[in-house]
Structures are given as C-alpha cells and as structure tokens.
C-alpha cells in the first residue's frame, strides 16, 4: 500500500512539474510574440500592402517561428531571425497570390493602436509621414517595393535580398535604384 501511495505521489509531482514547465514556456512564448509583434507586422504590411493579409501572415510567421524555436540558439539574434521568417512568408504569399490589395492607412493605425502618451500633434505628423510612405510605396512595382523594404528598412545585404527574390545582385541594385528614384520624385511632387 505504501508503494502505491509513493508511486501516486511521484506521478502527481511529475504531472505538476510538467504543467508548470508548460505554463512557463507559454509565458515565454507570449512575451516573445509581444516583444516582436509590431515590427513583424510592419515589415509584412510594407511588403504585402494589405492589413488583413499582414495580420494573417504575422500570425503565420509566429507559428513558424515557435515551431522552430529549437533552431534559435541566441535570443539576441531573435529579431533578425524573425524578420527573415516574416519577409520570406510575405514574399511567398505574394508569389502564390501574384496580386496585391491596398488598405487605407487608417486601418493599419486602428490595428496597431496609438502609442501610449503620444501627443495629438505628434500623432498627426506621424500619420502624415505614414500616409506619404504608403503612397510612395504604392507607386513601386512589387519587386521594387520588396527590395527597398528588405534593403533599406530591414538593412539586409544586397546578396541576401537577391537570394530572397531569387535574382542576381545587379537586379536587386537596379530595383532599389529605380525605387529610390520613383520615391524621391514622388516626395518632390508632394511637397507643399
């Protein structure tokens, strides 16, 4: 009888330990998602240009990342690793869909929410900058936009952008140069 009680007590302790470990892992995963959510969404939105698709792809990105978390050795590099998964997910989406949908920037602002403590004037100016950015990105071709976002926003080397776009480095440089010229012209035209 004592053996059965001791065995049962050991099983209950193991179950409790397993539950506590799972709870701790879930808390770490939630913290990881909250820490990187805004940046991942922004990268994906700038590539696909649609709020609903960006939300879905953000969720898909985190699912992929959490399924492969054992590949991540250094938490300091989690941001770069996650950005790579996010941009690849967005690019794959564009390749499969071969189309784009644009959403009003107000929808993005409502999705992300306003930063705590931001003053109304600062919010207005930030909204105007976002609107200009959105309009400028809309003028670019899909490949120009992806190359520009990956190179200038994500700060990836041209070789890695070329690899993701499955083209040569010279082609990437051409896309980026064309995108910058179009963007610069757009900004010059939109000055009051």
pLDDT digits (tens, 9 = 90+) for 22-32: 566 677 778 87
- pLDDT for 30 equals 82
Are 85 and 161 found together in one domain? no
The model's pTM is 0.53
- List the domain range (segments joined by +) for residue 177: 119-192
Identify whether residues 145 and 50 lie together within a single domain: no
Q: Is the pLDDT of residue 151 over 60?
A: yes
- The domain boundary residue, chosen from 56, 79, 103: 103
Q: What is the pLDDT of residue 99?
A: 52
What do you get for the CA distance between the two ends of the chain, in Å?
A: 88
Same structural domain for residues 70 and 146? Answer: no
The reply to whether 57 and 91 lie within a common domain is yes
Instruction: Identify whether 190 is part of a domain.
Output: yes
Identify the H or E element spanning 10: helix 2-48
Cβ atoms of 182 and 137 within 8 Å: the answer is: no
Confidence class for position 21, pLDDT limits 50, 70, 90: low
pLDDT at 95 over 70: yes
The domain that holds 189 is classified in CATH as: 1.10.10.10
Q: How far apart are CA 16 and CA 14, in angstroms?
A: 5
Q: How many domains does the chain have?
A: 2
Same domain, yes or no: 132 and 171: yes
Please say whether the dihedral angle defined by the alpha carbons of residues 118, 110, 78 and 151, taken in this order, is positive or negative.
Answer: negative
Asked if the model's pLDDT at residue 5 lies above 80, the reply is: no
pLDDT at 132: 80
Question: Cα separations (Å) of 146 from 4, 142, 151, 161, 164?
Answer: 64, 6, 8, 9, 10
């Amino acid at each position: 009888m004592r053996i059965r009680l001791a065995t049962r007590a050991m099983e209950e302790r193991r179950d409790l330990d397993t539950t506590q470990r799972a709870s701790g892992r879930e808390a770490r995963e939630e913290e990881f998602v909250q820490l990187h959510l805004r940046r991942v969404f922004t990268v994906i939105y700038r590539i696909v240009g649609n709020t609903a698709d960006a939300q879905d792809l953000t969720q898909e990105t985190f699912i992929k990342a959490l399924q492969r978390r054992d590949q991540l050795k250094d938490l300091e590099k989690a941001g770069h690793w996650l950005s790579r998964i996010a941009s690849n997910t967005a690019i794959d989406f564009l390749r499969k869909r071969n189309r784009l949908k644009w959403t009003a920037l107000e929808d993005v602002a409502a999705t992300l929410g306003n930063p705590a403590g931001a003053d109304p004037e600062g919010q207005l100016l930030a909204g105007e900058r976002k609107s200009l950015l959105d309009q400028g990105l809309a003028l670019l071709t899909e490949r120009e936009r992806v190359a520009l976002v990956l190179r200038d926003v994500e700060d990836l080397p041209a070789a890695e952008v070329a690899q993701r776009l499955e083209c040569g480095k010279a082609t990437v440089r051409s896309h980026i140069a064309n995108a910058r010229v179009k963007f610069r012209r757009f900004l010059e035209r939109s000055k009051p």
